[in-house]
Amino acid sequence: MGLQGVKAVFFDLDNTLIDTAAAGRRAIEEVISVLQSKHHCDESEAHMICDKVQAKLLKECHDPSKMCITDFRIQHWEEAIQEIKGGAADRDLATECYFLWKNTRLKHLTLAEETQQMLSELRKIVRLLLLTNGDTQTQREKIESCACQPYFDAIVVGGEQEEEKPASSIFLHCCELLGVQPEDCVMVGDSLDTDIQGGLNAGLKATVWINKTVTPKEISPVPHYILSSVLDLPRLLQNEGGANLETNQLAGICKMCDNSSEEPWTLAC
**Confidence check: pLDDT of 251 > 60:** no
**What class has domain 21-107?**
mainly alpha
- Phi, psi (5° rounding) for residue 114? -70, -30
Partners of 131 in the beta sheet? Answer: 156
What confidence category does residue 213 fall into, taking pLDDT thresholds of 50, 70 and 90? confident
Helices and strands counted in the chain (H then E): 9, 7
Instruction: Mean pLDDT check: name the lowest of 27-31, 118-122, 199-203, 213-217.
Output: 213-217
For 266, which DSSP code?
G
Task: Render pLDDT for 81-104 as a digit per residue (tens, 0 to 9).
Answer: 999 999 999 999 999 999 999 999
Which are the contacts of 220, defined by CB distance < 8 A and separation ≥ 6?
192
**Confidence check: pLDDT of 241 > 80:** no
What is the crossing angle of helices 91-107 and 69-85, to 10°? 120
Identify the pLDDT of residue 203: 97
Instruction: Mean pLDDT check: name the lowest of 199-203, 226-230, 254-258.
Output: 254-258
pTM: 0.87
**Confidence check: pLDDT of 4 > 80:** no
Q: How far is CA 129 from the centre of its chain?
A: 15
Task: Render pLDDT for 142-199 as a digit per residue (tens, 0 to 9).
Answer: 999 999 999 999 999 999 999 999 999 999 999 999 999 999 999 999 999 999 999 9
What confidence category does residue 216 fall into, taking pLDDT thresholds of 50, 70 and 90? low
8-19+110-256 classified as CATH 3.40.50.1000? yes
- Which residues make up the CATH 3.40.50.1000 domain(s) of the chain? 8-19+110-256
What confidence category does residue 268 fall into, taking pLDDT thresholds of 50, 70 and 90? low
- Which residues make up the CATH 1.20.120.710 domain(s) of the chain? 21-107
What confidence category does residue 12 fall into, taking pLDDT thresholds of 50, 70 and 90? very high
